[in-house]
Structure 1
């Protein structure tokens, strides 16, 4: 396994981020969602490097095979970890692709580190701009929604993950966009996360306001969201992104759930390839 050192924890232990680095050419860095690991990008890692791209994916602290730290479950720290990845591998002109919680890392990195080494950013089913309901964010979800998630995690994390996975991929009584084997694969991946990170990162992606971070983004920006996303509804996330990044391209995948990196893998791969190479992404719409 390959690891990148991202500083030390409060006890002086090295924080190691598990990563994979495949292909040659234009660098694309993939940032996974909660509570998975970089392995969720299976179909992207199998395809994107075939097209003159160097594709790097890493697992954030607390998840997968990365260090299970007790602290550091905040976006400033996670953005610094992303910086360690880009600096250690000396990547330049990077296309950053953040899925769900990973979209927050993209936003915070661009403001906290001035977008160093980055030429394009893509937000896929992302939690940006701000999920929590507040007086100035009335369309967000109430805090009780996230409290119930944490309650479920603490009561029976494995049962919570099983139910979460079905909603994640839009599985219902009639709808079965992924196989039972895929659900099992996803649950096993998410079970590798530490209980601490699984819990604390809920509050990180729920309560972090990225609106000012997004205002600092000046590079080409792609926003992709599924219209049937019940995990991070497009109405409070993807559809609002151009309010804060006016030049962003918004693409809605009709009928797609949250986990569109699997259910819409061919289209997503095409769009990432087109965007990263400076081409046109079909279906782009400016809603504002």
Structure 2
């Protein structure tokens, strides 16, 4: 064909490719909205990935938010899933009620998760709970059962608040509640550093630190007495359960926590990442994403 025509044809192809790429990017833009818990707390929710894919609901840990799951939400490997994240009460952009009862009663956290599942109309999602998020899942299972979910993943999850499972840091947990702002923020920084055996890059750490500084002080004090019904929740779980822990966790004794969870639910499988601390989904994100995808696919069968 003549050169000018060929050039016009090439330009048209480039324009079409650009439009398709722009549309794909627009389609992958996160969706944000709020859900109201039964006690009136507003919960900030975000969705990403394929809205028609198998659903995963991520539940972050203490001093976190949905931003903790950026390595999953932004992973090309996981874009075929419908990924739902939300900020726990007292965290991120969710409501921060005053008073201890809003946080010590484990049923409230369970009802928050149930409200998110109902609002999203996610069809039998897999629940993924990190640290405190594991306690939220246990309370959800104890209160609401497992009929509406396909499986649960405990990522360095808190099983019980016992000295056999929780590493003792009395000064740290005391100073998280200090009335002195500098002491409080320095302790938040120290807590975050303990979350990682391999520290994140400075930009990521700064984001997580800003994230943590948004958390309610009332929540930080009260949550240390939060009720956790792991005995009922894990024992009654008939869906697949995966216990995924970093062996170098400085906040939770990984092996005793896994042993207790498997005592409550002998069918629970476990994976121990020898090179990770408390946050394997960030420290070894590619491996974690592969293992998560494998579990979600098998749980959905």
Give the shorter-chain TM-score range.
0.7 to 0.9
Shift of 1:131: 2.8
After the TM superposition, which of the residue ranges 76-85 and 48-57 deviates more from structure 2? 48-57
Q: Could you tell me how far apart the structure 2 residues matched to 1:89 and 1:184 are?
A: 31
Choose 1 or 2 for highest CA Rg: 2
Shift of 1:7: 2.5
Shift of 1:255: 2.3
Aligned to 1:98: 129
Find 1:110's aligned residue among 141, 154, 167.
Answer: 141
Q: Deviations over 1:176-207 (max 9, x none)?
A: 54223222221111111111112211222xx6
Q: Deviations over 1:247-288 (max 9, x none)?
A: 111000012100212111111111111100118xxxxxxxxx
Shift of 1:49: 7.6
For the 8 Å contact 1:28–1:53, the answer to whether it is kept is yes
Aligned to 2:162: 132
Aligned to 2:269: 249
Q: Could you tell me how far apart the structure 2 residues matched to 1:278 and 1:3 are?
A: 31
Query: What SS does the corresponding residue of 1:20 show, helix, strand or coil?
Result: strand
Q: Could you tell me how far apart the structure 2 residues matched to 1:122 and 1:276 are?
A: 9
Q: Could you tell me how far apart the structure 2 residues matched to 1:226 and 1:212 are?
A: 25
Number of aligned residues: 259
Greater helix fraction, Structure 1 or Structure 2: 2
Q: Could you tell me how far apart the structure 2 residues matched to 1:239 and 1:225 are?
A: 12
For the 8 Å contact 2:142–2:230, the answer to whether it is kept is no
After TM superposition, list the pairs within 5 Å mapping 1:255-270 onto structure 2. Answer: 255-270=275-290
Query: What SS does the corresponding residue of 2:176 show, helix, strand or coil?
Result: helix
Q: Deviations over 1:157-193 (max 9, x none)?
A: 21111111111112xxxxx542232222211111111
After the TM superposition, which of the residue ranges 116-125 and 78-87 deviates more from structure 2? 116-125
Query: What SS does the corresponding residue of 2:134 show, helix, strand or coil?
Result: helix
Structure 2 portions without partners, runs of 5+: 1-31
Query: What SS does the corresponding residue of 1:57 show, helix, strand or coil?
Result: strand
After TM superposition, list the pairs within 5 Å mapping 1:1-288 onto structure 2. Answer: 1-8=32-39, 14-22=40-48, 23-24=50-51, 25-47=53-75, 50-70=78-98, 71-73=101-103, 74-128=105-159, 130-133=160-163, 139-141=164-166, 145=168, 148-155=171-178, 156-170=183-197, 176-204=198-226, 208-278=228-298
For the 8 Å contact 1:122–1:223, the answer to whether it is kept is yes
Q: Could you tell me how far apart the structure 2 residues matched to 1:108 and 1:154 are?
A: 25
Q: Deviations over 1:134-160 (max 9, x none)?
A: xxxxx3459xx4653442112222111
Q: Deviations over 1:76-97 (max 9, x none)?
A: 1100110000111112211011
For the 8 Å contact 1:214–1:244, the answer to whether it is kept is yes
Q: Deviations over 1:13-69 (max 9, x none)?
A: x31100101222111100000011111000111127844211100011111000011
Change (3 A) 1:72 1:249: same
Q: Could you tell me how far apart the structure 2 residues matched to 1:52 and 1:119 are?
A: 17
TM-score, structure 1 length as denominator? 0.84
Q: Could you tell me how far apart the structure 2 residues matched to 1:247 and 1:180 are?
A: 40
Change (3 A) 1:209 1:80: closer
Q: Could you tell me how far apart the structure 2 residues matched to 1:49 and 1:15 are?
A: 33
Q: Could you tell me how far apart the structure 2 residues matched to 1:49 and 1:202 are?
A: 36
